[in-house]
Amino acid sequence: MDEKTEELRDLFVEVTDEETVTERQEEGPGSLTDADEAAVADRIAAVVATMRERYDFVTDLDDDALATVVRGFYDGANDAAIAETVDETPEDVFRARTDLHLLDDEDTEFPFDLADLRDARVDAEDPDTAALADTLDADPEAVERALLVADAQKAIRRVSGRFQSEFEDAIPDAALSIRLTDTAQESGLDEAAEDIETDTKF
């Protein structure tokens, strides 16, 4: 530091009563929250779009509503709460979740075993809901709901839970609030070998 610079420094310290001439930043580091949220939303939207291209969805919800269902599911909200958010019925949300491969324990609880439903479906000459309900001595609405769950389980097995994993990778801390369980993802090993699809993309 030359003499002139030293004089200027001393003058600055005397006038400002500061120990350094480095200018302070008035604003702290910017938050990444907004950017991160946008990235999460984009990733979820991409997974939903991929699934819509691959499957014939039973739901009429659009992609934005389906993304909201995904977020609500991983936030631990029930179908009724999610339904209010997307202005649909809880049944609509349930059907959307089966399209999205998002099942929890409660979805597999029926007064009959899902394995018995699958067997009855294979054995029935006319495997419509009413016929299956008669075979299982069950309520047709319960059978219709169980059929959606069974189909979702089969689809999940065929891709080895690929889309569930992609949702969980996209959502921060999804593993901490995950509702998917061994029961909901029961593999049905007797048919898994023929259903599994290996994803060889790197």
Residue boundaries of the structural domains of the chain? 32-183
Average pLDDT over residues 183-198: 50
Write the pLDDT tens digit of every residue in 116-146.
999 988 887 667 888 899 989 999 999 999 9
Which two three-digit tokens encode residue 150? 């069974």
Environment class of residue 149 by beta-carbon count within 10 Å: exposed (0-12), middle (13-18) or buried (19+)?
A: buried
Average pLDDT over residues 183-189: 50
Per-residue pLDDT at 25: 45
DSSP 181: -
Write the pLDDT tens digit of every residue in 26-68.
444 544 455 588 999 999 999 999 999 999 999 999 999 999 9
Whether this prediction's pTM lies above 0.85 is answered by no
Q: Tokens 């299982």: give the residue.
A: 136
> Which helix (H) or strand (E) is 121 found in, with range?
helix 114-123
